[in-house]
Structure 1
Amino acid sequence: MLFDEREETLREVCALGNTKAVQHFIHGGVKINSQNKMNGWTALHWASHRGQEDIVRLLLSNGADPTIKTNKGQTALDLCSDRYPNILTMLESQQVERTSIGPEPSLPIVPAYMKEPDLEKSWLMPDEFSENKIDKVIRQETAKDMLKNEGDKKSTASPTSQTSKKEVLVYLKTRSDDSILGSVFLKNETMTTIIEQLKDVK
């Protein structure tokens, strides 16, 4: 059975409340009821647990199954706190009842993913996430290099090629002026080589 890595990202953006990204994944054919292998949570479990009312509504209207249970035997209703009465009403209207297992116990600390949520995945569309941006840039630059090489082979005149410089800006976390670390000038190198060099910098 093939694994669709978008399923895990769907669950993550549901927990974060990114409606645009959830719609993107649903329209892209991602299995809405897929479960995490470790805990059995679905997108609906996460949205209910984190109080994402709009996401719960969106998931239910697109075929999310509220009767699916986690590996502990909990439904989305079990994982929903009483602080979210509108979500409780929506789930109860689906003829789902609480199980004897109940909600997750409250943690003595605030997990890092809640204290510092991934802002890109909270607001952006999936093709704008950093990891996809890098892959996209590499693919585009590789395609340009291949076209250029094909053009060079067909060209009969071969004077010394001009040196071209590329400036690559390096940021700490987000692409903003206050988190810029600096820039690097690179000559006549493919984007793949540049990315590899940046990854190797300690």
Structure 2
Amino acid sequence: MIRAISLAFASLALTACVSVLPEPEAPEGLYRFGAMTETYPVEAVVSVREPESSRLFGGRVIASEDAGGALRLVRGVEWADSAARLMQVAMLEALDDTGAGVAVALETGARADFELVWRIEDFSLAGTQARCDLEATLVEANSRKVVAQTNVTSSASADGASNAARALAMAEAGRACVGQVAGFVSEKAVAAEPEPAEPDA
């Protein structure tokens, strides 16, 4: 009996604690990168994975660096999906199929000649300035041999100080970064020429 009463009081106390917790704040707007304005052909099959990143730069939140160098979450705005996934989708769009090859998402499991391994080094705001920094490595899919590496940066200025304007600047900076990496992949991902057949004896 005493145990039952104790459990009842514990349950009541837990319910009271839960009821006073603040409700999660819903974002006022969800943002995407938008369509890529420039595309690049590829001459081989390139597998594109989501870029690696910290949760702060590659998640759904948008971070801004304050005057003291601390990163804080921008209230009221978020990405519609994780930033890493949005970059992967933008890359697949930027590498078009007008060449002899095609870009495919890594998770499709399709056989590829090359794989794009990349990382978000920075994707944040500094006041009204959006900035993006990506490191990209192109490797041969079978041998894992490194073909080429690059590091690209971009920035974009927001049209105003509102968080919505700053989020749009972030999308612009993200598209610009992805476009630079797409140009790199287009240039370096070239399938090897097949070896000529030996003549019959």
TM class, shorter-length: under 0.3
Q: TM-score, normalised by structure 2?
A: 0.19
Higher percent of residues as strand? 2
Q: Which has the higher contact order (CA 8 A, sep 6+)?
A: 2
Q: TM-score, normalised by structure 1?
A: 0.19
